A and B are shown apart, each in its own frame.
Chain A
């Protein structure tokens, strides 16, 4: 098997895997939110409602596709695509696991290990902003434009704290590549704490997490698409699979963001004190690392759902105030202190 064939298989596999998690996430969201609210959630379509996402997909596919009369047609069609594509493309750099040996060949469970790792991720999330703005503007409706404007402002403002938090990671580990960072998070420091980014950069982690919530448009930052104020904001006028792309793309975005959080701050595929490679064979080591990564990712995905149903949402100016007046100074101070500490310890 040539290298490019292996990469192709990896692309298809990881793409299908990401889709699967996003689909299951819709189910998890509905059931978990129901369990928190003392009700049951969907339980009629299949056992425990597991076929509900399939039913939703079929429903969205078979609905009539309406484009409003005075909407800008090309931009209207382009909006959801610009939103969903970057979400899927982020998976190219996520390290899902360590090496696996199949047929004598060592394959790393990552589609491509570029050395600009999460800079690529940041760039892609900037393109996703376009998807929302264009969708809101092209719909030619006041609710949509308000949602689109709010989305732009929110997403652009929160990219800065995210970048600042990530800069501290670069300072700590000296590289952008996600695989390198995960490899450097093995071992312990201070005797008992694992070498994770979470313990070395707690403030950076919190800033990154808050910025991730804002980037993903999740409560408490879901102003662009809040139901009570703007009748779903920038995707008011969308129906059928275009709406499906927006809604689905949001979940794919969530999965990507949790994956990045896990690789940067929680040690990626490795267990904290145990080196799995010592007592597992090559194939099972690969699968085990994949599973560990998935479990950590699942925790963060559940955290997204958990916070959504507990907390009210911000008002627009409070949101911007939090981003610019609280997170950015905190991020700068954090950066400064990290730089100082890194300089002092090397």
Chain B
């Protein structure tokens, strides 16, 4: 048996007689009891501290809640998604499948960009609702909405195609639950050096520069210039 330290139990008289502390505990529970009986008769949701009478009363969901996805349309009703596939690459669960395509003749004003996504599928059974796709999207096309009641009777229905995602958006728009555009994050960046005119250098020298950089390795990612999103 392992060695154990000797523990002496010292009780006060009130503690030795169980009943004093039990009576105090009973008084506390009685106070909660009376409060909750009065609360259960009041009208309105969530009068009793732990209970929401779902599905009649629902909690208020934050606008930035990460729920079911939706493909957004812009104010003119054009699809924002260009089919670049950044969301599919950013997804940790590999649940998004995007195919890029060109809009058909005569349908160009349905889409805001020059390209569109001919197919866009999200497997909701794999999705972990992390929001990486939302952060990666350059056009703010795919966002996570406020819907969390996603149960279906068949697994096939849980693979959302483009039609379902756009209809999610339209439903949210009709209910006034659109996702607010992402707020700009104040970033602590080193001051941007003013770009001077680049002199054309001899081909040898630029190669040396490139070689130097390759030797340093792929690190130093902080000071690298930010490869901006394609506008």
- Chain A directly contacts chain B within the complex, with at least one CB pair under 8 Å: yes
By beta carbon, the residue of chain A nearest B34 is A35
Question: A309-336 toward B: CB 8 Å interface, digit per residue (1/0)?
Answer: 1110000000000000000000000000
Q: How far is the CA of A306 from the CA of B28 in the complex (A)?
A: 11
| B25 in the interface (beta carbon within 8 A) | yes
B36 interface contact, C-beta 8 A = yes
Q: Residue B49 at the A interface, CB < 8 A? A: yes
How far, in angstroms, from A39 to B36 measured CA to CA in the complex?
8
- Determine whether the beta carbon of A40 is less than 8 Å from that of B29: no
* Cα separation A39 to B33 with both chains bound (whole Å): 10
Give the shortest distance, in Å, between B18 (CB) and chain A (any CB): 9
Contacts of A311 in B (CB 8 A): 22, 25
Residues of the B chain whose Cβ atoms lie less than 8 Å from the Cβ of A40? 40, 48, 51, 53
B60 to chain A, nearest CB (A): 20
Q: In the complex, A85→B28 CA distance in Å?
A: 37
A32: chain B residues at CB < 8 Å are 33
Report A-chain residues with C-beta under 8 Å of the C-beta of B33.
Answer: 32, 35-36, 306
Encoded as 1 (CB less than 8 Å from any B CB) or 0, chain A from 23 to 50 comes to 0000000001011111110000000000
Q: How far is the CB of A286 from chain B (nearest CB, A)?
A: 32
B26 and A35 contact, CB distance less than 8 A: no
A283 within 8 A of B: no
Which chain B residues border A9 with CB–CB below 8 Å? Answer: none
Interface size on B, residues (CB 8 A): 17
- Tell me if A342 counts as interface (CB < 8 A to partner B): no
Least CB separation from B40: chain A residue:
A40
* B28 / chain A contacts, CB cutoff of 8 Å: 310
Q: Name the residue among B33, B37, B53 with the largest chain A CB count within 10 angstroms.
A: B33
Known: A32-B33, A306-B30. A38 touches B49 (CB 8 A): yes
Q: Known interface pairs A40-B48, A306-B29, A309-B29. Does A35 touch B22 (Cβ–Cβ under 8 Å)?
A: no
Instruction: Kindly state whether residue B135 has any CB partner on chain A within 8 Å.
Output: no
B40 x A36 contact (CB < 8 A): no
How far, in angstroms, from A36 to B50 measured CA to CA in the complex?
A: 11
B42, CB-defined interface residue at 8 Å: no
The distance from the CB of A60 to the nearest CB of chain B, in whole angstroms, is 26
Instruction: Chain A residues near B36: list those with CB within 8 A.
Output: 34-36, 38-39
Assess the A38–B48 pair: CB atoms within 8 A: yes
Asked whether A307 is an interface residue with its Cβ less than 8 Å from the other chain, the reply is yes
List the 8 shortest-distance A-B pairs measured between CB atoms, nearest first.
Answer: A38-B49, A35-B36, A39-B50, A310-B25, A40-B51, A36-B29, A310-B29, A35-B33
9 contacts between A and B (CB under 8 A): A35-B37, A36-B29, A36-B33, A37-B50, A39-B36, A39-B49, A40-B40, A306-B30, A310-B28
Supplied contacts A35-B37, A38-B36, A40-B51, 8 more A-B pairs, CB within 8 Å: A32-B33, A36-B32, A38-B49, A40-B40, A306-B30, A310-B28, A310-B29, A311-B25
Q: Hey, which bits of chain B sit against chain A, CB under 8 A?
A: 19, 22, 25-26, 28-30, 32-33, 36-37, 40, 48-51, 53
User: Which residues of A come within 8 Å of B, CB atoms?
Assistant: 32, 34-40, 206, 306-307, 309-311
